[in-house]
Structures are given as structure tokens and as C-alpha cells.
Homo-oligomer: A and B are copies of this chain.
Amino acid sequence: MTSTASLVHHALEHFFIETPSWGYTDTGTRFGKFHQPAAAINMGDKLADAGQVHRLTGCCPKVATHVLWDFPDLSKASEVAALAAQHGVRIGSINPNVFQDQEYKLGSVANPDEKIRARATKHICDCIDLGKELHSRAVSLWFADGTNYPGQDSIRARKHRFEYALREAHDRLDNDQVLLVEYKPFEPAFYQTDLADWGMAYMMSKIAGPRAKVLVDTGHHYLSQNIEQIVAWLLDENMLGGFHFNDRRYADDDLTLGSIDPYQIFRIFHEIHFYAWERGGVYPQIEYMIDQSHNLKPKIEAMIQTVTTAQELYAKAALVDHEAMVKHQAAGRIIDAELCLKKAFNTDVTAAIAAWRTSHELPVDPLEAHRASGYEAKVAAERSQRRIDLVMSTGSSYA
């Protein structure tokens, strides 16, 4: 095995990505959804689709779930887990939903109304309990909380309410669970979002307790913000809990990973490999998850594309010659240090990844294999009929 092949093989061996259950269903923008015949209707469909992605890529054994949508009846969680097992996958991170119900109009855990706050916190605690039952490590918290107009609410009061709720949630955790705290600058809150940036998520995690960590969604940053620096700082503080992968140009566009700026994703992965290299090859425990939600591309194909792109960029980042790089850095040789990154990024890793796939009896090209499998046509036919039977709308919507 060449050095490139060996480094790539080593990198891919420990690189697993959760796919999200909601990534298999029809989603869209506030201007409407475009329906796909093959889109998943229920949790069984989502798990089947996730199973298909894992079968072809070998790196997606777990499925991130949205409790409200995927576990309508919490008492039957074990049945869902069994269903997952049938499809060759396991339940991954648990995502509470505290943004959708009408009560959450003015927020969930930061709502001015104490009863609504209590309800939201209870839902989060229920999700933590579900995680215990399913032996799922991560509970992943995204809050839409914020305000739309100056003066609408007290920013500090909302901060205090968050502190209270997150402490309560943290108290509920088992020792093998982690609480991932996500941040996002805006949408759906348009004046201020309570957890708007990494600094707020970091501070809130510190206040919550030692098993709370920050979740970095690659699409949740201000324009021009340096994401890899945030990743490097969080790694250094042992506060990086996980990622939500997607790409964007403008806002939280939720496009497939690396479709807009692949070099940025490469640099993020570089920070992780570099950190591990300095620790003698010990990698931190990071939850890698996908969160993409548009539906112009076929859902499963889009998922496979993000997974394989993530592997490709993670593999390239593993090729950086750290030893040479740190020498150049110490000596202030800017171009030479930069070229260590450029060279790795420009390396063609197709053959090396193919070799890794072959070694795991996986198809060399998962996208082609998926297309050749006939899976999509099969489920499209069955699900289209089911939609008719269920009298489901496939018409237009507008938010």
C-alpha cells in the first residue's frame, strides 16, 4: 500500500457519519416543497433509506432522529429500534423538537411563559430518557428561540431561562450521554437568536455542566466567519461535541456538503487531524452528523453524495504532512506551510478510497451502485401508491 492509500485507509476506518431521518422526507423552503415520489413517508421508510445508504457506503451505521416526528409514541421506542436493526442501522442522536408547536411562538425554554418553558424542558428530558433507553449517546439541542423585534423580550431574562433549562437537562443525563448545544445566527428569529454564535453555545454548555458540548453546524455562521478557527478553539478546550454537515453560500441553505466551498470543509477536517496528530494519533470523540434538508436532488442520492464527499475531504485532510508543516510554521515560511495544505487538497484520492471500499466489500462508487440497485424506482412506486391510499397531499404549499 502506498503512503497515500495507507493514510486514507487509516482515516476512513474511524470516520462514521450519522444520516438524519428527516433527510429522507420531503422538505423545502417557505416558498413551498417539491415532492418526490420516493420520499419517505414514515419512520419505516426513513430507516429503510438510511439502511440503503449504510449498505452502500459502510460508514453510516446510525440514524439521527427527530423525536416529534419519529417517535410519536415514546412508549414504543423499542419497536423503532428493532425496526432500525432490521434495516441494518441503529438509532443515533436524539433531537428534541421545541420549535414547531403553536405554543412555541415566543420561544421554548426562553418563552416568557413559565408553563411553556416547563413543557419544553420536559420534552427535552423525555428525549434524554429516550436516549438512555435506546443507548444513544448524544442528545442534540437546536433552539429556534429568539425575538423578531427590538424590545420584544429581555435578552438577559431569556439567557437566564436558558441557563435554568440546560442545567435541568444536564442533570437528567446518564454518565455516558452528552448534551450537544447548537448555535445559529438567525432564522426563524430575525432580530436576535438566543444562542446565536459559538460563544453563546460555549458559555451555555459550561453553565449546563461537564457533559454539555458545542455542536457546529457548518451552515450556521455569519458570512466570512472562519469556521475552522472555531473548531480549533473548541477542540483545544475539549468542548467540540459534533457537527451538522451541509454547505451554503448565503444563509442556512442546507445544500449538500462541499457543493459550494470544498476547501473550507477540508480545512475543518485538517484541524481535527492536526489536533489528533499532536496527541499521538488519538482522535477526539466527535459526533459527525448530516443536516441537509432541501429536495431538488433525489433524497438518497443527495445523502450518498454528502457522505462520499465528506469521506473524500476527510481523506485528503489526512494527507497533510504535519511534521513538515509545523517546521515551516515555526520558521515563518508562509508559502511552504500553506502548500502542505494545498498539496493534500489537490491530491486525487479516488483510487485510495476505492481500495478502502473494496477492502470492506463495498461498491467502489456508491452513487452508481444505488442507481443500479433499482431501489429508488421500487420505493417510489410503493410509496406513491401508499400516498394515494392515505389521501396525502402532494400539492403545493406555502409557508
Residues of chain A touching chain B, judged by Cβ–Cβ distance below 8 Å, are 27-35, 99-102, 105-106, 112-113, 144, 148-157, 159-160, 185-188, 190-192, 196-200, 202-203, 222-226, 228-229, 232-233, 235-237, 248-251, 253, 255-256, 259-264, 267, 270-271, 274-275, 278, 294, 296-298, 301-302, 305, 312, 325-326, 329-332, 334-335, 337-342, 345-348, 350, 367, 394-399
Report whether B334 and A152 are in contact in the complex, using a CB–CB cutoff of 8 Å.
yes
Interfacial chain B residues near A338, Cβ < 8 Å? 149-152, 259
Contact assessment for B102 and A394 in the assembled complex, using a CB-CB cutoff below 8 Å: yes
Report the separation of the CA atoms of residues A237 and B204 in the bound assembly, to the nearest whole angstrom. 12
| Chain B residues positioned under 8 Å from A256 (CB to CB) | 149
| Inter-chain contacts of A330 with B (CB < 8 A) | 112
Give chain B residues whose Cβ lies under 8 Å from the Cβ of A157. 329
Query: Can you give 22 contacting A-B residue pairs, CB < 8 Å?
Result: A28-B188, A113-B332, A148-B334, A151-B338, A151-B341, A156-B233, A156-B235, A156-B278, A159-B233, A159-B236, A185-B225, A187-B250, A187-B251, A190-B253, A198-B199, A199-B199, A226-B249, A261-B264, A296-B334, A298-B335, A305-B335, A347-B348
* Chain B residues whose C-beta falls within 8 Å of the C-beta of A160 in the assembled complex: 236
Closest 5 CB pairs of A and B: A199-B199, A222-B222, A190-B253, A155-B232, A29-B188
- By the criterion CB–CB under 8 Å, are B199 and A105 in contact? no
CB contact under 8 A between A341 and B261, given known A112-B330, A113-B332: no
Q: Of B150, B185, B255, B263, which contacts A341 at CB under 8 A?
A: B150
Partner of A294, one of B148, B335, B337: B148
**Are the C-beta atoms of A267 and B148 separated by less than 8 Å?**
no
Cross-chain contact A186 with B249 (CB below 8 angstroms): yes
In the complex, the answer to whether A226 meets B191 with C-beta atoms within 8 Å is yes
Which interface residue of A101, A188, A334, A397 has the most chain B CB atoms within 10 A? Answer: A334
- Report how far A28 CA is from B332 CA in the complex, Å: 18
Q: Which residues of B contact A312 (CB under 8 A)?
A: 346
Considering the complex, give the chain B residue whose CB is closest to the CB of A194.
B229
- CB-defined contacts of A348 to chain B, threshold 8 Å: 346-348
Residue among A263, A271, A335, A337 with max Cβ neighbours from chain B (10 Å): A335
Cβ contacts under 8 Å, A350 to chain B: 346
Contact of A155 among B100, B222, B271, B399 (CB under 8 A): B271
Name the residue on B nearest A100 (C-beta).
Answer: B396
With both chains docked as a complex, state the minimum distance between the C-beta of A221 and any C-beta of chain B, in angstroms.
8
In the assembled complex, the Cα of A334 lies from the Cα of B255 at a distance in Å of: 12
Question: Do B30 and A154 have beta carbons less than 8 Å apart?
Answer: no
Q: Beyond A149-B337, A149-B338, A250-B251, list 11 extra A-B contacts (CB 8 Å).
A: A29-B399, A30-B399, A112-B329, A152-B337, A154-B274, A160-B236, A185-B225, A224-B250, A226-B249, A301-B335, A346-B348
Scoring A153, A159, A341, A350 by chain B CB atoms within 10 A of each residue's CB, the highest score goes to A153
Nearest-Cβ distance from residue A265 to partner chain B, whole angstroms:
11
User: Can you name the residue of chain B whose Cβ is closest to the Cβ of A224?
Assistant: B250
Report the bound CA distance from A148 to B113 in whole Å.
Answer: 40
A63 to B34, CA, bound (A): 29
Candidates B151, B186, B329; contact of A251 at CB < 8 Å: B186
For A30, the chain B residues whose CB sits under 8 A away are 27-30, 188, 399
CB-CB < 8 A to A226: which residues of B?
191-192, 196, 249
